[in-house]
Amino acid sequence: MKLSHTYLTQPHQLYKECKPTSVANPGLLGYNSQLGQELDISESWARSSTGLEFFAGNSMLEDYTSVATVYAGFQFGQYNPQLGDGRALLLGETQDSEGQVQELQLKGAGPTPYSRGGDGRSALGPVIREYLVSEAMHALGVPTTRALMALRTGDTVVRDRLQPGGILVRVAPSHIRFGSFQFAAARQDEEALKALLDLTFTRHYPHIEAAFKTPQDLLGLVIERTALLVAQWMSLGFIHGVMNTDNMSIGGLTLDYGPCAFQDDFSWQRVFSSIDTGGRYRYAQQPNIALWNLARLAEALLPIWPGKEDQKIVEAEALLHTFAPTFEAHRSALFAAKLGLDNSQSGYQNTIEPVLNFLEEHSLDFTLSFALIEASSKCDMKRLNLIRAALPEHAKLEKFWSTGSYEQGHWQKDVINPLIIPRNHQIEAAITSSEQGNDSKASTLFALYTSTPLVETLTAEDIRGPEPKEWLERTFCGT
């Protein structure tokens, strides 16, 4: 496969050339046909032994011009001056059907210069999780990295136990992170900072005029995209789980799906990540963390920010102050749409928070509760009956909504509230099955999460949260 490679023209201190390490017996677990078509990749080739060997890292070494990129990052508030692609390799880039450059990256293809003593591999479980959840997020309209392919390696990796290995083929306009700028700034490397600035505008903000391709303009753009992204997460009950600055995309994409999860029964303080013992990245805290991370990005941009030092800080702080009102506007609009309310006449605290508080008080499912309110308000009996079958506590929610003082009638024509989200217990069941050699559950979930099935074809089991005995309240990074 012929790929271009812009990184090979970038300052050498931003990457190191590195080849993938071969695996024992590559096998296809899942292939994203739609994305493959968008990238003009022959599906027959991708599924062939030649294609599998290439994406598994088993082709001739001269077939690869891959690199591992370097970045720093604040991890749970603690600065690490050098991280980098410890288990990822950037193969190169191609163009999609819209003319957008898209990078292809392997996750789990072997050790790199930034592996920090690790094996550079991935267990099959994290590969399946990201393959399913990232494409579900795309289907839900949330900016995200994409997943082209999930592979088995035929090898075993050692984590908390022996697990089968996997490789994910990830796709994004770039994999530049806040931490990429932090790495260069910590070294006072203006050459690297300017190169990252130029590449970011080219990949993520290509329509910006040359006069406005400045550090301060970039910060403003990233603030806007990040505010919208986090508002979208909140409107879906999504918890990223590890919002370190090295996991924040400069293009406003959802990046890295380690300990992420969607809420079932709603709680403001819900935490899933097994390593987030202090709840730093809990559901309600995500906007504050996003702003904190943006402040760290602003600091990293200051070395190439024009003007005197004190004036730079004033300008950066003024931009950072725009985050809260921007986020709140997006969040209010999204939740108002979910409840059929007129956003111009409803305040988030007065109209939406009481609904969320009611869900928490009665341990009601986040996704199905909003879907029930919409179906009930629209008298969509097919959808309503399905939700009632999946949500045993529906009566108390219907009574609460019908007796409330909400001005309804502003529903969009199309359904705004999804019936289907990636449920943690569904994903874990698919992972367990695939670890035992059966990929049918993963394939079924991929089809369920990435399409819009007719209500008539769905069952309560397809859409509901887990039974208490199946409840999984912890997720893991997989590193």
- Residue 379's region, left for phi above 0, alpha for psi from -120 to 50, else beta, is left
In angstroms, rounded to a whole number, what is the distance separating the alpha carbons of residues 183 and 83?
9
96 catalytic residue (yes or no): no
Buried b vs exposed e over 357-394: b needs ≥16 C-beta within 10 Å? ebbbeeebbbbbbbbbbbbbbeebeebbebbbebbebb
Rounded-to-10 torsion of CA 228, 406, 264, 223: 10
Instruction: Kindly name the residue from 246, 256, 276, 365 that is annotated as catalytic.
Output: 246
CB distance 254 to 134 below 8 Å: yes
- ∠ at Cα 284 (280, 289), nearest 5°? 50
Beta strands in 37-161 (DSSP E): 67-69, 73-75, 78-80, 88-95, 101-107, 122-123, 146-158
In angstroms, rounded to a whole number, what is the distance separating the alpha carbons of residues 385 and 369?
13
In angstroms, rounded to a whole number, what is the distance separating the alpha carbons of residues 27 and 236?
33
**Phi, psi dihedral angles at 164 (to 5 degrees):** -65, 145
Burial class (CB in 10 A: 0-12, 13-18, 19+), 210: exposed
In angstroms, rounded to a whole number, what is the distance separating the alpha carbons of residues 147 and 428?
18
In angstroms, rounded to a whole number, what is the distance separating the alpha carbons of residues 91 and 61?
12
Rounded-to-10 torsion of CA 423, 425, 428, 429: -110
What 8-state DSSP symbol labels residue 12? G
**Phi, psi dihedral angles at 104 (to 5 degrees):** -110, 125
Catalytic residues: 246
